[in-house]
Amino acid sequence: MAESLWTAADAAKATAGTLTQGEDWSATGISIDTRSLKPGDLFVALEAERDGHDFVPDAMARGAAAALVSNPECGPGKKLVVGDTLEGLRRLAIAGRDRSGAVRVAVTGSVGKTSVKEALATVFRQAGTAHASIKSYNNHWGVPLTLALTPKNVDRAVYEMGMNHAGEIRALSNLGQPHVALITKIAPAHLENLGSMEAIADAKSEIFEGLHKDGVAVFPADDEFAPRLTEHARKSRAAFMIEFGREASAAVRLLDYQTGPEGGKGRISVLGKEIDFHLPATGVHWAWNAAAIFATAIAAGVDAETTAEGLRYIKAEAGRGAIQELPVNGGHFTLIDDSYNANPVSMASGLSILGATKPKGGKRIAILGEMLELGPDSAQLHKSLTNPLKSAGVDAVFLAGKGTEPLRDSLPVGLLAAYADTAAELKEAVAGYVNPGDVVFVKGSNASGVHTIARMLSQDGFGARGQG
């Protein structure tokens, strides 16, 4: 039987809510979505695009222990009634945070934050028990949900924090009060909302503002904005700063790194101790990810040897660089699914993975969606992908979205396989092009829709094309 996470009494005390229809329940988890709800979960009826109160009957039918609601008349079952369900979730988050003895780690950055968060969770489990954000639950409801789900007895917890506008990470960090706060990298993402790279650096640095007393600020020494990050860290409650990268001044210094289709290997100095490490993820960007992980882990009390061992077990997930061998036309092709999101830095890093993956008698194919929220420099930033495409030895490029037009117009003659205003319009052209031996790379901003092309390519029905 699963261990209780929240009793009715504890949840009512945390939220200052009122129990109705029964006070004898206990929840083993928390859910905001009936599609993924597990029996025994406390269902939180958030009011967003759709009102969660409409789904309370479904939640109860699926075995929810109770529902956190603001409208007690929304359906059957035991309820915890509060004035505002999002505020109720935040109060559960604070109580969950305060009752746990976990070392709390917060992760943000323009690129790599989800991959680094997942890798840190793997490393932390190598050193003891760990809790981590689900998927990319890094916003105004995702962070409090993850905090509220923190087990009472766990050694370490890692929370991802994202943003679109200034002030958002400040609120999340103050809620989480991390002992360690990591910025992975500053890159041109959300330029449209924030206006400048300096403003992006300032917004990401808000993560230091919520640091617990005597906390540790971790950030890249090699970053163009490292002096700005340093200044923000000094103004915070951070008692220590740990920089990582190739710079000689970095406390965690990357000495060597090599990457190939089977993964990467390197050597790193962690507070003066040199150690070799291996990881199964591909791409030059994993050199910096690894350095960030070593720095954050040592700040969280995990030694370099344990971190190196944990890195051996990390794995890329669908949408984040996962590599699969899939059937097509009686043979197989390689899919590199990096389709979850994109900005110019992560796009160039992803294309380096494509360049390092050798086709088995076929072509290197790049399927790219437009990069959004880049502001007035969008055209030039899209156009700048021309050289990374050339360096990767790409044979054919498919482009989706009007934002990619500057890149389309700058490609060498013969490299463009197809362009469409939407990913949906591009699917048929892609489906008719991929053949055995090809390596196919897919990446773009979420709203570009290219993740639907990656999904199509990985479905069994696509693999049967042309057979029989």
* 377 vs 196: CA distance, rounded Å: 10
Amino acid at 57: P
Exposed (0-12), middle (13-18) or buried (19+): which is 422, by Cβ within 10 Å?
A: middle
Give the DSSP letter string of 223-239.
STTHHHHHHHHHHTTEE
Strand 439-443 versus strand 364-369 pairing type:
parallel
Q: Is the pLDDT of residue 466 over 80?
A: no
Strand 263-270 versus strand 273-279 pairing type:
antiparallel
Answer yes or no: are the C-beta atoms of 283 and 353 closer than 8 Å: yes
- Does domain 6-84 bear CATH number 3.40.1390.10? yes
Predicted local distance difference test score (pLDDT) of residue 130: 97
Average pLDDT, the chain: 93
Structure tokens at 443: 């990446």
Percent of the chain with pLDDT over 70: 97
Q: Is the pLDDT of residue 460 over 50?
A: yes
Amino acid at 388: P
Q: What is the mean pLDDT of residues 281-292?
A: 90
Work out the pLDDT band at 365, boundaries 50, 70, 90: very high
Predicted local distance difference test score (pLDDT) of residue 329: 87
Q: Where in the chain is the domain with CATH 3.40.1190.10?
A: 100-311
Q: Enumerate helices (H) and strands (E) in the chain, giving the number of each.
A: 18, 22
Domain covering 322-459, topology: Protein-Tyrosine Phosphatase; Chain A (3.90.190)
Structure tokens at 215: 């906390």
Q: Where in the chain is the domain with CATH 3.40.1390.10?
A: 6-84
Q: What is the mean pLDDT of residues 264-286?
A: 93
Exposed (0-12), middle (13-18) or buried (19+): which is 284, by Cβ within 10 Å?
A: middle
The string of pLDDT tens digits covering residues 117-128 is: 999 999 999 999
* 341 vs 245: CA distance, rounded Å: 24
Answer yes or no: are the C-beta atoms of 177 and 105 closer than 8 Å: no
Q: Is the pLDDT of residue 380 over 80?
A: yes
**What phi, psi does 24 have (nearest 5°)?**
-105, 15
Q: What is the mean pLDDT of residues 418-434?
A: 95
The CATH number of 100-311, from 2.60.120.200, 3.90.400.10, 1.10.10.60, 3.40.1190.10, is 3.40.1190.10
Work out the pLDDT band at 437, boundaries 50, 70, 90: very high
Answer yes or no: are the C-beta atoms of 443 and 339 closer than 8 Å: yes
* 171 vs 361: CA distance, rounded Å: 52
222-236, 250-264, 295-309: least confidently modelled range: 250-264
Predicted local distance difference test score (pLDDT) of residue 1: 56
Predicted local distance difference test score (pLDDT) of residue 247: 96
Q: Where in the chain is the domain with CATH 3.90.190.20?
A: 322-459
The string of pLDDT tens digits covering residues 340-358 is: 888 888 899 889 889 988 9
